[in-house]
Amino acid sequence: MNILLLGSGGREHALAWKMAASPLVTKLWCAPGNAGIAQEAECVALDITDHAAVIDFCKRNMVELVVVGPETPLAAGIVDDLASAGIKAFGPGKQAAQLEGSKGFTKALCTEFNIPTGAYGRFTNADDALAYVRQQGAPIVVKADGLAAGKGVVVAMTMAEAEAAIAMMFDGAFGAAGAEVVIEEYLAGREISFFALSDGETAIALASAQDHKRVFDDDRGPNTGGMGAYSPTPFVTDEIHDQIMARIILPTVAGMKARGTPFRGVLYAGVMLTGQGPKLFEYNVRFGDPECQVLMLRMMSDIVPAMLASCDGQLRNFDLRWFPDAALTVVMAAKGYPGDYARGTRIEGLDDAARVEGVEIFHAGTVAKDGHILANGGRVLNVCASGKTITEAQRRAYEAVDRIQWPEGFCRRDIGWQAVERERG
């Protein structure tokens, strides 16, 4: 098959690496890609916001499957536009992508189909929102309705913080994404991520994975896109897994189907394990980044038939197999991230680092220039490793990190700590 992958981050490098290993693939392109992806696929300088240009490329190159990595093109309806042109694409259509694109949409779905989530209100003006939080009290969570690059959520521990968040959102801090605000009950408990693959009819769970959102060790500093991840996680027991599938994932798939907007693709649920059982606090409609990287290292099955089964409604009798080994990834970012950072700094030692046993390095934001790899983003590298245990995977990943010479970069030194602590007993 000829396949085109859309995206340019570490998630897409991991997907490209996994797809390139499939015997079903004749030719793999990636638009726009990065210096690491170029080792697995031919990178093409397509503007992926220009759907007509993507369709034109697919027609000229006889592309049979398009795999969409990030959420923005999904929310913009690229899967529908490709389908209208007769091109198969992996991921949800525009209506189903609202599960990520609109927090209010997801809350309303939960109410309609009895999916456990926190109490909430939806608001389009500050006065009503303020009245609601004064009635509910703090702690409380204030969320911009739309896509805000992971920054549209304020967990307000005090009334003053909640009021400031409401003022900021209605003042246009997130543009149109904040024109509606969802105010949600604060859920106390352990936060976990849950991934499932759906074909619009049913869903199968992927392996468990957990990321680390804060920028510094010990979970300090501002939130980021994710500074590392590991799989499996010790916190999703079989019982919790079954509860999440039965009460959250499958009712969501059934609800979306009943509404006439079936969800196909990867459903990534943010779940809080509360005293009253698992509760959904958000959906994403694509693989997590960097969780995808550890899932791809652990996936034994060929991913391409799984993606095709998702597109074609054929998941019912599908089975995905996973390696028993653990996997862990450390994100190396440019100093200053998630704030301002420099681009164009030189990275050395990648080949030496990749020789550590079990290590695979995915590029998240790089360019190749004059025979060198240069940083070209906030999150720049994903140093991944597998091992018999999370502890072994962690040791290997940091051994590789220490072989990389990049003075302008940094990483957390404690990725996987919860699991490592547990393995230590």
| Smallest separation (angstroms) from ligand AMP to the CB of 188 | 7
Provide, rounded to whole angstroms, the least separation between the CB of residue 169 and ligand AMP: 13
Q: Residue type at 373?
A: I
Alpha-carbon distance of 396 to 232, in angstroms, equals 17
Q: How far is the CB of 210 from ligand AMP (least distance, A)?
A: 11
In this structure, are residues 226 and 212 in contact, taking their beta carbons and an 8 Å threshold?
yes
CB of 264 to ligand AMP, least distance (A): 22
CA 308/CA 5 separation, integer angstroms: 14
Q: Is 175 in the site for ligand AMP (CB under 6 A)?
A: no
User: 281 to each of 100, 106, 137, 274, 392, how far by Cα in Å?
Assistant: 11, 9, 19, 11, 32
Identity of the residue, 48 or 154, whose beta carbon is nearer to ligand AMP in the bound complex: 154
Asked if 378 contacts 334 with a C-beta cutoff of 8 angstroms, the reply is yes
Number of residues in contact with ligand AMP, rule: CB under 6 A? 14
In the complex with ligand AMP, the residue whose CB is nearer, 79 or 141, is: 141
Cis amide linkage into residue 139, ω under 30° from 0: yes
Nearer to ligand AMP, 262 or 288 (CB): 288
Contacts of residue 135, Cβ cutoff 8 Å, sequence gap at least 6? none
| 270 binds ligand AMP per the rule CB under 6 A | yes
Site for ligand AMP in 145-164 (CB under 6 A): 150, 153, 155
Question: Which residues, numbered 341-370, are part of the site for ligand AMP (CB under 6 A)?
Answer: none
Residue 141 touching ligand AMP (CB under 6 A): yes
Q: At what angle do helices 10-20 and 291-298 cross, to 10 degrees?
A: 20
How far apart, in whole angstroms, are the C-alpha atoms of residue 378 and residue 360?
Answer: 20
| 111 CB-near residues (< 8 Å, 6+ apart) | none
Q: Binding of ligand AMP at residue 281 (CB under 6 A)?
A: yes
Helix, strand, coil percent content, the chain, rounded in steps of 5: 35, 30, 35
113 lies in the site for ligand AMP, by CB under 6 A: no
Candidate list 145, 282, 291, 360; residue touching ligand AMP; CB under 6 A: 282
Local structure of 58: helix, strand or coil: helix
Under the binding rule (CB under 6 A), the answer on residue 277 touching ligand AMP is: no
Give the shortest CB-288-to-ligand AMP separation in angstroms: 10
Q: By CB under 6 A, is residue 1 in contact with ligand AMP?
A: no
Q: Contact with ligand AMP (CB under 6 A): which of 9, 70, 118, 278? A: 118
For the segment 177-196, give every residue that binds ligand AMP (CB under 6 A): 184-187, 191
Q: Which is nearer to ligand AMP, 191 or 408 (CB)?
A: 191
* Residues constituting the chain: 425
Q: Which is nearer to ligand AMP, 128 or 191 (CB)?
A: 191
Contact 385, 361 (CB under 8 A): no
Residues that bind ligand AMP (CB under 6 A): 118, 141, 150, 153, 155, 184-187, 191, 213, 270, 281-282
